[in-house]
Chains A and B, each alone.
Chain A
Amino acid sequence: MKKELIQINGLSFKYDEDGDEVLSNVDLTIHEGEWVSIVGHNGSGKSTLAKFLNALLIPNESNVVLVEGLDTVNEENIWEVRKRVGMVFQNPDNQMVATTVRDDVAFGLENIGIPPKEMVARIEWALKRVNMERYTEYEPHRLSGGQKQRIAIAGILAMRPSIIILDEATSMLDPIGRQEVLETVRMLKKEDGITVINITHDLEEAVNSDIVFVMNRGNIKIHGTPRYIFQQTEEIIGAGLELPFSLEVQKQLKSKGYQLSNACLTKEDLVNELWKLRLKT
Chain B
Amino acid sequence: MPNTPFEHQALNNINLHIKSGQFVAIIGHTGSGKSTMAQHLNGLLKPTKGSIQIGDFFIEANKKNKQLNKLRQLVGMVFQYPEHQLFDETVEKDIAFGPLNFGCTKEEAFRKVRDILPLVKLDQELLQKSPFDLSGGQKRRVAIAGVLVNHPKVLVLDEPTAGLDPIGRRQMMELFTSLHKLESLTTVLVTHSMEFAAAYADLVVVMDKGSLVMQGPPEEIFKFPEQLKKIGLNVPETLQLAMMIEESFKTELPKNIFTKEALVDTITMLLKKETI
Interface, chain A (partner B; CB < 8 A) = 41-43, 90, 144-146, 168, 171-177, 201-202, 240-242, 245-246, 248-249, 252-253, 256, 258, 267-268, 270-271, 274-275, 277-278, 281
Is A175 a contact partner of B192 (Cβ separation < 8 A)? yes
A193 to B261, CA, bound (A): 41
Is B275 a contact partner of A202 (Cβ separation < 8 A)? no
Among A42, A172, A177, A278, find the residue whose CB has the most chain B CB atoms closer than 10 A.
Answer: A42
A274 to B30, CA, bound (A): 36
Q: Besides A144-B31, A173-B30, 12 other CB < 8 A contacts?
A: A42-B135, A43-B136, A145-B30, A240-B166, A246-B241, A267-B237, A267-B240, A271-B241, A271-B244, A274-B248, A278-B274, A281-B275
Residues in A whose Cβ lies below 8 Å from that of B249:
274-275, 278
> Interface residues of B, CB < 8 Å — how many?
33
B263 at the binding interface (Cβ < 8 Å): yes
A97 to chain B: closest CB distance in Å? Answer: 20
Residues in A whose Cβ lies below 8 Å from that of B165:
41-42, 201, 240-241
Interface, chain B (partner A; CB < 8 A) = 29-31, 135-137, 162-168, 192, 232-234, 237, 240-241, 244-245, 248-249, 260-261, 263-264, 267-268, 271, 274-275
The residue of chain B having its C-beta at the shortest distance from the C-beta of A39 within the complex is B165
B71 to chain A: closest CB distance in Å? Answer: 29
Q: Which of B30, B232, B244, B268 contacts A267 (CB 8 A)?
A: B244
A267 to B162, CA, bound (A): 25
Q: Is the interface of B mostly helix, strand, loop or mixed?
A: helix
A159 to B30, CA, bound (A): 30
Q: Which of A42, A268, A281 contacts B271 (CB 8 A)?
A: A281
Task: State the 3 A-B residue pairs at the shortest beta-carbon distance, nearest first.
Answer: A242-B166, A201-B165, A174-B192
Residues in B whose Cβ lies below 8 Å from that of A241:
165-167
Given contacts A42-B136, A278-B271, A252 and B261 within 8 Å (CB-CB): yes
A87 to chain B: closest CB distance in Å? Answer: 17
The residue of chain B having its C-beta at the shortest distance from the C-beta of A202 within the complex is B166
The residue of chain B having its C-beta at the shortest distance from the C-beta of A200 within the complex is B165
In the complex, 12 of the A-B residue pairs with CB atoms within 8 angstroms, ordered by the A residue number, are A41-B168, A42-B135, A171-B162, A175-B234, A177-B30, A240-B165, A242-B167, A245-B260, A249-B267, A267-B244, A268-B244, A277-B271
Is B232 a contact partner of A176 (Cβ separation < 8 A)? yes
A48 to chain B: closest CB distance in Å? Answer: 14
Given contacts A41-B165, A267-B240, A253 and B30 within 8 Å (CB-CB): no
A260 to B249, CA, bound (A): 17
The residue of chain B having its C-beta at the shortest distance from the C-beta of A256 within the complex is B268
Residues in A whose Cβ lies below 8 Å from that of B271:
258, 274, 277-278, 281
The residue of chain B having its C-beta at the shortest distance from the C-beta of A267 within the complex is B241
A40 to chain B: closest CB distance in Å? Answer: 8
A268 to B166, CA, bound (A): 23
Q: Which of A41, A176, A249, A275 contacts B260 (CB 8 A)?
A: A249
The residue of chain B having its C-beta at the shortest distance from the C-beta of A244 within the complex is B237
Residues in B whose Cβ lies below 8 Å from that of A271:
241, 244-245, 248
Residues in B whose Cβ lies below 8 Å from that of A268:
244
Is B248 a contact partner of A249 (Cβ separation < 8 A)? no
Is B237 a contact partner of A201 (Cβ separation < 8 A)? no
Residues in B whose Cβ lies below 8 Å from that of A41:
165-168
Among A172, A174, A275, find the residue whose CB has the most chain B CB atoms closer than 10 A.
Answer: A174
A236 to chain B: closest CB distance in Å? Answer: 10
Is A90 a contact partner of B248 (Cβ separation < 8 A)? no
Residues in B whose Cβ lies below 8 Å from that of A274:
245, 248-249, 267, 271
A242 to B240, CA, bound (A): 19
Is B260 a contact partner of A248 (Cβ separation < 8 A)? yes
Residues in A whose Cβ lies below 8 Å from that of B244:
267-268, 271
Residues in A whose Cβ lies below 8 Å from that of B248:
271, 274-275
